[in-house]
Chain A
Amino acid sequence: MTDTDILDSIDAFLARDVVPHVHRLEHDDIYPEAIVERMRELGLFGATIAASFGGLGLPCATYADIVERIARVWMSLSGIFNSHLIMSAIVQRNGTEAQKRAFLPRFASAELRGGLALTEPDCGTDLQAIRVTARRDGDAYVVNGTKTWISNGIHGSCFALLVKTDPNAEPRHRGMSMLLAEKGAGFTVSRKLEKLGYKGIDSAELVFDDYRVPVDRLIGGIEGRGLQHALSGLELGRINVAARGVGIAQAALDESLRYAQVRRTFGVPIAQHQAIQLKLADMATRTEAARLLVRRAAELYDRGDRCDMEAGMAKLFATEAALENATEAMRVHGGYGYSTEFPIERLYRDAPLLVIGEGTNELQRIIIARQLVARNPV
């Protein structure tokens, strides 16, 4: 069965409950409370969680289509459930049975919402350099340190928190563990971070000061697996950011295609000038190529095959496509593209996040190259 019915509902939701409000919410950097409530009713917070745990159990390919459509209208909205679902995927793949039963149904219903807490002020892509520590004390871990750029940090209540349970371990990853951290005493949000784009969604700094987490919240129940857990969520994370890239690239194309047929110079619509035609053709080709790369990675993911290289390629290409298309859309629109009354400047501000976040595109290239060599030994 195809999932066009699901995508039709997503389109109806976007047209009715999102499109009329994006401009205001985005420019005023307001958390879209009412829209999040509609997203909860729609079931988006359980999209990829297995049906046996109360989710929808959608394949990654359908999920990527959903993310693309939402990012096409407002990328920030996808951030509200994307990292939540990566946290869910980590628990579903690595958690103990008790953890799955205790948490996944509450994640699926959005009773508990949250995301990933990996990045720190001094480390992002190089995760093994984290400094947040969790010291065992009786039946709890005592956590100290700071996380930053945590999506849903203010409005979420539960996070997959990457910590060092053994700061002196060699290799470093053997000392890393992941905890399911619900907000409580010693867990505070110190501030909301201001950003160029990606407005509306809360990116926050989280501070842990003798914050106690029961030992049964150690994901998988064994210390030293934290990095593996974090990496297990990255394939889905990259596909998801790649899908956002396709959404932004498509939105830039849609706006440009419409504008180029309406705006006239020298007596004809600008779509009839070769200078604009070349741009439109490249934008459309990039978007379509990006979409196919995302689809390919998602299909491998759904088959259970290793897809870090393919997900990396999709992430690299689709997010660069988003950035290029946003820039080209501004050139097609001229002054109107630079105006804050039109959506192009928003795409132009949102796109750069994608080439930086979820592993920089420089790192993606290194991962792709290493995989190429590993898969093709001489």
Chain B
Amino acid sequence: MKILVPVKRVVDYNVKVRVKADGTGIETAGVKMSMNPFDEIGVEEAVRLKEKGAATEIVAVSMGVPQCAETIRTALAMGADRGILVETDAELQPLAVAKLLKAIAEKEQPKLIILGKQAIDDDMNATGQMLAALLGWPQGTFASKITIEGDGITVTREVDGGLETVALTLPAIITTDLRLNEPRYASLPNIMKARKKPIDNLKPADLGVDPKPRLTTVKVAEPPKRKAGVKVGSVAELVEKLKTEAKVI
């Protein structure tokens, strides 16, 4: 079984992001970039499936600027077998990414595509669902546990108020939630080996997709600064303040 794992290059989760002065986006110049943490969970799950013998090949895909190759290398160091980089300077929105992934899926014929449930930069939470719709494949989103049995896959999903278990027929789409696994960090020998693994370089046109944005970003602004809180001496005082000052009860 072949698994496709899309990985997105995002601002590292440790970085305190700053909004650009002109309000068009966030500052990325000189900022540490890493693999989207939810995608790391996806790579880890794919590698575990391969280690268990349930998968034979893992292909990591990334899209965007040439440096996305570094993100693919991270996936290769964790255990993916080869990479595909779709290089473009265009701003990529979920629908464009889903269309590009659909074209790659048709070419590669994977049985399973494991995506992060969302990327920590724009928090869109859309690509996996759009891809499932475009391909007409079943989807198990927000997965916290997956089990492959024959031609099917059982997915435990984290939904509001509890867990939902769904059974899907392969090929299928999975999007990962935080509790699916704890991703490994690559060993140094595997990092060295990953430098020799192949990465195919494509352009959106090679896949017959026009990645032009369909949404316009109007403005990016910082959230308002939080004001200092107050300490209350008793529950009675708290209730009083909630009534008279905050006016929420």
Instruction: Using CB atoms and an 8 Å cutoff, list the residues of chain A in contact with chain B.
Output: 1, 5-6, 8-9, 12-13, 16, 41-44, 46-47, 51, 56, 58
Contact = CB atoms under 8 A, between A and B. Distances in A.
A56 B185 contact: no
Contacts of B209: none
B212 interface: no
Interface stretch (B43-51, B107-115, B160-168, B186-194): B186-194
24 contacts: A1-B195, A5-B73, A5-B74, A5-B77, A5-B186, A8-B34, A9-B77, A9-B185, A9-B187, A9-B188, A9-B191, A12-B185, A16-B185, A41-B187, A42-B187, A42-B188, A43-B187, A43-B188, A43-B189, A44-B188, A47-B188, A56-B188, A56-B189, A56-B192
A41 B185 CA distance: 11
B188 A6 contact: yes
Interface string B170-196: 000000000000000111110110010
Interface residues of B, number: 13
B191 A6 contact: yes
Contacts of B189: 43, 46, 56
Contacts of B70: 5
- Tell me the dominant secondary structure on chain B's binding face: helix
A202 B201 CA distance: 50
Nearest to A44: B188
A82 to B, nearest CB: 16
Contacts of A9: 77, 185-188, 191
A16 B40 CA distance: 16
Contacts of A12: 185
A18 B34 CA distance: 22
Contacts of A5: 70, 73-74, 77, 186, 191
Nearest to B189: A43
A-B pairs with lowest CB-CB distance, top 9: A12-B185, A43-B188, A43-B189, A9-B185, A42-B187, A9-B186, A43-B187, A5-B191, A56-B188
A42 B34 CA distance: 20
Nearest to A55: B189
- Which residue, B70, B74, B185, B186, has most C-beta atoms of chain A within 10 A? B185
Contacts of A47: 188
Contact of A13 (B73, B74, B185, B195): B185
Nearest to A2: B70
Contacts of B74: 5, 8
Nearest to A109: B189
Interface in B209-241: none
Contacts of A44: 188
- Which residue, A5, A6, A16, A44, has most C-beta atoms of chain B within 10 A? A5
Contacts of B187: 9, 41-43
A51 B191 CA distance: 13
A44 B77 CA distance: 16
Contacts of A46: 189
Contacts of B195: 1
A288 B23 CA distance: 35
A28 B40 CA distance: 36
